[in-house]
Amino acid sequence: MDDWAQIRCLRKQGLSIRKIAAEVGCAKKTVERALASPEPPTYKKRAGKATSFTPFEPQVRALLEKTPTLPATVIAERVGWTGSITWFRDNIRRIRPDYQPVDPVDTLTHRPGEQIQCDLTFPTGGLPDETGTRAEFPVLVMVASHSRFMAARVLPTRTTGDLIAGMWALLSTSFQAVPEHLLWDHETGIGQKKLTGPVLAFAGTLGTRILQAPPRDPETKPGSADGLSVIG
């Protein structure tokens, strides 16, 4: 499904079918099918296969959360691993990037129209509903990464449907444009390990991509909601 959205985004940028196939790494027929389909393909979800490392992973992650640079041999000793140290190191190498500290001198620049950052914030004290009762409504905040132009909209809930409706409302009225990609964190309604089907369909229909920032990376996603913390 990720390829479907990327293919439609690249087509919007004017790339030929041949160039899109080369960029995505797929056959030209796959590109043609994606462009002809108004909805992303659906696949049956396969259950993840458990391995000998699976029971140890929660403990390993807890240790890396506290000390991201802890050597694999030390982690193995602390969690009581008795299997292959090579296999253990391979798994540590796979998950350690989730806990690596951000380079403080790393900076990002963005072109006009390249990216809009999306965040949810919950104003202190809540917001009044139609009866005047204050409730904890989420506020969707979107910021153009180049110009820092900001727009916001109160949402009924933080579910997928309301997030999509909120993004479209702000893009079509406040921004009046669709960027190359939208940047989110790992908000449940957008997707955790993978984007949800409706979100992918939304991105593909608009010809954009929805990216998710790495964990604990304030440089990639510097906190656009900060400026609206006083709403309400």
Q: Which residues pair with 141 in a beta bridge?
A: 119, 152
Please tell me whether the overall predicted TM-score, pTM, comes out greater than 0.75 for this model. no
Q: What share of the chain is helix, strand, coil (3-state, %, to 5)?
A: 40, 15, 45
- Spell out the long-range contacts of 222-228 with Cβ–Cβ below 8 A and sequence spacing 24 or more: 222/117, 223/119, 224/117, 224/118, 224/119, 224/141, 224/142, 224/143, 224/150, 225/119, 225/120, 225/121, 225/139, 225/141, 227/141, 227/150, 228/121, 228/123, 228/139, 228/141, 228/150, 228/152
CB 176 within 8 A of CB 203: no
pLDDT along the chain (232 residues), means of 10: 75 85 85 83 62 92 91 94 92 86 61 92 87 90 92 93 94 92 91 86 88 66 50 40
Supply the pLDDT for residue 219. Answer: 54
Question: What are the domain boundaries of the chain?
Answer: 2-36, 54-99, 115-228
* Residue-level pLDDT at 47: 54
Rounded distance between C-alpha atoms, residue 158 and residue 143, angstroms: 18
Contacts of 118 (CB under 8 A, 6+ apart): 140, 141, 142, 167, 182, 183, 184, 224
Give domain 115-228's CATH superfamily: Ribonuclease H-like superfamily/Ribonuclease H (3.30.420.10)
- The reported pLDDT for the residue numbered 11 is 83
Q: What is the pLDDT of residue 230?
A: 38
